[in-house]
Amino acid sequence: MKWLQSSDTDFETRLSSLLADRSAVETSVSTPVRDIIAAIRAQGDTALCDYTARFDRLAITPETIRISEAEIAQEADKVDAELMEALTLAATRIESFHRAQMPSDLSYTDDAGLTLGMRWTSLDAVGLYVPGGKAAYPSSVLMNALPARVAGVERIAMCVPCPDGVLNPLVLAAARVCGVSEIYRIGGAQAVAALAYGTATIPPVDRIVGPGNAYVAEAKRQVFGHVGIDSIAGPSEVVIVADNRNEPRFVALDLLAQAEHDELAQAVLITDDAAFAQTVVEALGNELQTLPRAAIAGKSWADHGAVVIVRDWAEAAQIANRFASEHLEVMLDDPEGFATQIRHAGAMFLGRNCPEAVGDYVGGPNHVLPTSRTARFASGLSVFDFLKRTTSIAADANGLRAVGPAGVALARAEGLGAHALSLSARLDALGWNQG
Amino acid sequence: MKWLQSSDTDFETRLSSLLADRSAVETSVSTPVRDIIAAIRAQGDTALCDYTARFDRLAITPETIRISEAEIAQEADKVDAELMEALTLAATRIESFHRAQMPSDLSYTDDAGLTLGMRWTSLDAVGLYVPGGKAAYPSSVLMNALPARVAGVERIAMCVPCPDGVLNPLVLAAARVCGVSEIYRIGGAQAVAALAYGTATIPPVDRIVGPGNAYVAEAKRQVFGHVGIDSIAGPSEVVIVADNRNEPRFVALDLLAQAEHDELAQAVLITDDAAFAQTVVEALGNELQTLPRAAIAGKSWADHGAVVIVRDWAEAAQIANRFASEHLEVMLDDPEGFATQIRHAGAMFLGRNCPEAVGDYVGGPNHVLPTSRTARFASGLSVFDFLKRTTSIAADANGLRAVGPAGVALARAEGLGAHALSLSARLDALGWNQG
């Protein structure tokens, strides 16, 4: 854990180095991924089954790539009632927030007599990648599938690797709760390739979302352009801005909740009281004694954790903006007031009783958020990821008379003769006097 | 030019092959681009000046990388008054449409007592790439810079290569009209790298937009993740849906306006009347006799042009959706009615007097649009490219009581102990009875 104080002379250097810690990770799997994608494009289902046998130790045929409705129902029924209730509450809240997000179309006729419009339509088909094994989080299924469903996507195709054939009841139950159309027991770069290019069994999709390992991320990067992708997520991170009126243990647990995700995760406390920060650090050490994922959380805190002592909350806001962190908790008397000074953050959690875990599950806003300081230019997953815009211009003779001549002048200046003619020939027919 | 008829038995095969024509182009310049980016990151301005001397035959120093205000004013003053007026009309209309596009923030308190929000903020700094030489279009400067300006971006840094030191008055005038903050006389992958990573002279930006050659496109692809980028544009394309009540020459000119961009451009006519299509094809041949860019337009039409004869307009709409084309002209009696059946298109041009060239210059909506069938999942450039969203959740004790227990259940099911504790410790302090 690093300890920085804004009044120190080397503060700027050390803060810059801390910020650089979150730069994007380079990948070294591009060649094997390229080979896998080429094989899926050339041999389709055959290659898909081969890779699944090899990487997941699972023998499948084109007939069994898809998990049947009966299997899904059988697995989902294993989930206990309390958990099903929690899943359903989460789904309801997430759906409701994303419904509020839906944008409006635009249409107006301007002074020149042109009618201008912008219409939102949903994608036809979306692929949802769900990691296998320990990283298979039902909450991620909800967070990725529900915005697509709310946006109006008709077909949501999910891929989840099932090493040794083991199905994950909670993931299948979550998929069922949010109306996923079809589920395939495949993973890795081969699943991404199958979703992007299609096989005899799996029709291609228009966009692929969802987290995955380095192979999945690189495969998404390589199919980008042919289909859309979501952003490539880096390790998770939180910045917590807290005053000394908070219970230190709560702050410590919130830092650990981030740190337990991944040894590369980053948890940062910004406060104006060094003594308070010290009590938080001690409380964090205590919790590590009993935390189930103490090894991961401890290493994350040791390697990437940081405490930043600031002079005042205005300075805290400035530094938080420079972190542009995925998650920002504001545990102050007036969290809303502080939030107005924040320009760059994936998601904010306001108040002493609003740990980031609220947003991971049951808050409503999406938990798929921009990492590695990309909140400077990127946003969390939303209905906007599953919608696109078509603009329109309608012009009649009068509209063309009003704007056409300027278009002719610009087209000629750019040396595009047919552009100019497509306008001037019509203007001539309407009796244009070029002067 | 290909001629397809929907009543033919091999129609589906031939249409699929026509659609496959627009698949994304592979790039083979990734190694040299990787080297250039590494050099700029390591040596900054020195490498930037070296590459500019080598590729653009232009000797610059860190002091002269930026084009001075005096130079810009001097060049811009060379543009004649009528053209300045056309540029200004275009800028006013583009700005006004993009202003109408600006989205609203969201904030509401729900039944559980949580206050949920979503706030739009602009990016801090944007890089705008403008190609040099013949492809330097002032209209592109307007279309890329104005949405950023309207979104509220404070700093717009433009790069334009100036081979042999030649400045383009119209491009500089356009940059001035739309308030570009700074202009650098550099291009290629080295300009993209400088914008993404910064040098001593050029502070880094958060997102890079604008068209460029294969090197520029590959450089944008490689810096993606560290900064945001716009989509990599392919060759331009238009689909024109026209009945036989149109003047054939106008339809022919609209097809040619697309074809003259690039030998790889694609112009497609969809109509229900083969005889009418024949007159359009003849008119197109006539225009090619005198068109300045006849060589390019003729090759584009020969290699990629197509006529599709349909049974009716419903079928035309279906086929237009499968093209998901960058531009869609609808020259029918009821273009608005037809438009309601369109799900996938970058931009629509409605009416017999609304050629696509209106939208290239003076319509208002953006002319930077998704190509190569990516309108299935992508949209034209807009204020949304220069904004990002921060969501927020505010919870007090009652809000936490309402949703916290479900969060605890899900966190435990996912094996994330600190997540569960960050919620349950607070709930315990509030007197939670876990039952």
What ipTM goes with this model?
A: 0.93
C-alpha separations of A49 from A194, A326, B150, B226 in Å: 11, 37, 51, 35
In B, which residues are within 8 Å of A366 by CB distance?
391
Q: B177: alpha, beta or left, given left = phi > 0 and alpha = psi -120 to 50? A: alpha
Characterize A296-310 residue by residue with b for buried, 16 or more Cβ atoms within 10 angstroms of its Cβ, and e for exposed.
bbbbbbeebbbbbbb
Read off the tokens for A183. Answer: 């589920």
Q: Collect all residues of chain A within an 8 Å Cβ-Cβ radius of residue B409.
A: 82-83, 86
Residue A367 phi, psi (nearest 5): -100, 0
Nearest CB to B206 within list A134, A376, A395: A376
**Nearest chain A alpha carbon to B297:** A418
At A435 the pLDDT is: 56
Asked if A195 contacts A206 with a C-beta cutoff of 8 angstroms, the reply is no
The answer to whether residue B247 is catalytic is: no
Residue type, A165: G
Strand partners, A121: A388
β-strand pairing of A327-331 with B2-5: unpaired
Nearest CA in chain B to A225: B24
In this structure, which amino acid lies at residue B247? E
Q: Residue B169 phi/psi, 5° resolution?
A: -55, -40
CA A339 to chain centre: 21
A164 burial level (CB within 10 Å; 0-12, 13-18, 19+):
exposed
Q: Which residues contact B93 (CB under 8 A, 6 or more apart)?
A: A110, A112, A403, B362, B363, B364
DSSP 8-state class, residue B263: T
CA Rg, chain A, in Å?
Answer: 26
Between chains, do B422 and A355 touch, taking CB under 8 Å as contact?
yes
CB contact under 8 A, B403 and A363: yes
Of B257, B370, B376, the CB nearest to A124: B376
Neighbours of A206 (CB within 10 A): 27
Number of neighbouring beta carbons within 10 Å of residue B155: 16
Residue in chain B closest to A389 (alpha carbons) equals B379
Residues of A in contact with B287 (CB under 8 A): 418, 421
Q: Give strand pairing partners of A29.
A: none
Nearest-by-Cβ selection for B227 from A85, A349, A377: A377
List chain B pLDDT tens, one digit each, 435 residues.
Answer: 788 787 888 888 877 777 776 554 455 788 999 999 999 999 999 999 999 999 999 999 999 999 999 999 999 999 999 999 999 999 999 999 999 999 999 999 999 999 999 999 999 999 999 998 766 789 999 999 999 999 999 999 999 999 999 999 999 999 999 989 899 999 999 999 999 999 999 999 999 999 888 899 899 989 988 899 988 778 889 999 999 999 999 999 999 999 999 899 999 999 999 999 999 999 999 999 999 999 999 999 999 999 999 999 999 999 999 999 999 999 999 999 999 999 999 999 999 999 999 999 999 999 999 998 899 999 999 999 999 999 999 999 999 999 999 999 999 999 999 999 999 999 999 988 775
User: Measured between alpha carbons, how far is A175 from A179 in angstroms, rounded to an integer?
Assistant: 6
Alpha-helical (H) ranges within A200-334 are 214-223, 248-259, 274-288, 294-304, 313-323
Q: Give SS3 for A3.
A: strand
Q: Which residues of chain A are within 8 Å of residue B112 when distances are taken between CB atoms?
A: 93
Mapping DSSP to helix (H, G, I), strand (E, B) and coil, where does residue B116 land? strand
Chain A residues touching B130 at Cβ < 8 A: none
CA distance A118 to chain B (A): 8
Binding residues of A for NAD(+): 129, 190, 213
B144: tokens are 């890329």
Cβ atoms < 10 Å from Cβ of A36: 25
Diameter of chain A by CA atoms?
86
Beta-carbon separation of B417 and A293 below 8 A: yes
Cα-based distances in Å from A130 to A134, A187, A200: 11, 8, 22
Residue numbers in A near B295 (CB within 8 A): none
Cβ burial B330-368 (10 Å sphere, 16+ → b, else e):
bbbeebbebbeebbbbbbbbbbbbbbbbbbbbbbbbbbb
What is the Cα–Cα distance from A221 to A227, expressed in whole angstroms? 10
Nearest to A396 by CA among B352, B164, B175: B352
Q: Mind telling me how many Å the CA of B349 is from chain A's nearest CA?
A: 5
**B419 belongs to an annotated ligand binding site:** yes
What residue type is assigned to position B92 of the chain?
T
A206: nearest CA partner in chain B: B377
What burial class does residue A340 get, using C-beta atoms within 10 Å of its C-beta: 0-12 exposed, 13-18 middle, 19+ buried?
Answer: exposed
Query: CA–CA distance from A305 to each of A186, A237, A252, B258, B417 (Å)?
Result: 36, 10, 11, 55, 19
The answer for residues whose C-beta is within 8 angstroms of residue B396's C-beta and 6 or more apart is A351, A353, B113
Among candidates B112, B225, B351 on the partner chain, residue whose Cβ is nearest the Cβ of A24: B225
Q: Do B101 and A106 touch (CB under 8 A)?
A: yes
* Nearest-neighbour CA in chain A from B191: distance (Å): 19
Own/partner pairs, A75-79, CB within 8 angstroms, 24+ separation: A75/A167, A75/A168, A75/A169, A75/A172, A75/A173, A76/A169, A76/A172, A76/A173, A76/A176, A78/A169, A79/A169, A79/A170, A79/A173
Q: pLDDT per residue over A235-248, tens digit each?
A: 889 999 999 999 99
What per-residue confidence (pLDDT) applies to A9?
86
Q: How high is the pLDDT of residue B23?
A: 55
Q: How far is B50 from chain A (nearest CA, A)?
A: 27
* pLDDT value of position B11: 81
Closest CA to A300 of A318, A288, A282, A317: A288
Q: Is A423 in Cβ contact with B110 (below 8 Å)? A: no
Low-confidence ranges of chain A (pLDDT < 50): 24-25
Closest CA–CA distance from residue A411 to any residue of chain B (Å): 8
- Of A327, A329, A356, A367, the catalytic one is A327
Q: Do A390 and B358 touch (CB under 8 A)?
A: no
Q: What is the pLDDT of residue B26?
A: 52
Query: What backbone torsions phi and psi does residue A331 show, to the nearest 5 degrees?
Result: -110, 70
* Residue B32: Cβ within 10 Å count: 13
Residues 6 or more apart from A155 whose CB is under 8 A from it? A124, A125, A126, A181, A182, A203, A205
Q: Is A95 a catalytic residue?
A: no
Determine which helix (DSSP H) or strand (DSSP E) holds A106, and give its type and residue range: strand A106-109
Measured CA to CA in angstroms, residue A405 lies from A379, A432, B93, B248, B250 at distances of 40, 9, 14, 22, 16
Name B312's Cβ contacts closer than 8 Å, sequence gap at least 6: B272
The C-alpha atoms of residue A341 and residue A330 are separated, in whole angstroms, by 12
Close Cβ partners of B56 (under 8 Å, ≥ 6 residues apart): B132, B161, B162, B163, B164, B186, B187
CB contact under 8 A, A354 and B416: no
Would the CB atoms of B374 and A225 count as touching at under 8 Å?
yes
Q: B236 a known binding residue?
A: yes
Contacts of B101 in chain A (CB under 8 A): 106, 118
Contacts of A389 (CB under 8 A, 6+ apart): A118, A119, A120, A121, B379, B380, B382, B384
The residue among B119, B226, B388, B408 with the most chain A CBs within 10 A of its CB, best to mutate, is B388
Domains, chain A, ranges and CATH? 2-25+234-363 (3.40.50.1980), 30-73+122-229 (3.40.50.1980), 395-429 (1.20.5.1300)
User: Taking CB atoms and an 8 Å limit, are A293 and B121 in contact across chains?
Assistant: no
Q: Are A87 and B410 in contact, with CB atoms under 8 Å apart?
A: yes
- CB–CB contact B390 A349 (8 Å): no
The whole-number pLDDT of residue A359 equals 96
Report CB contact under 8 Å: B225, A231: yes
Biggest CA-to-CA distance, chain B: 86
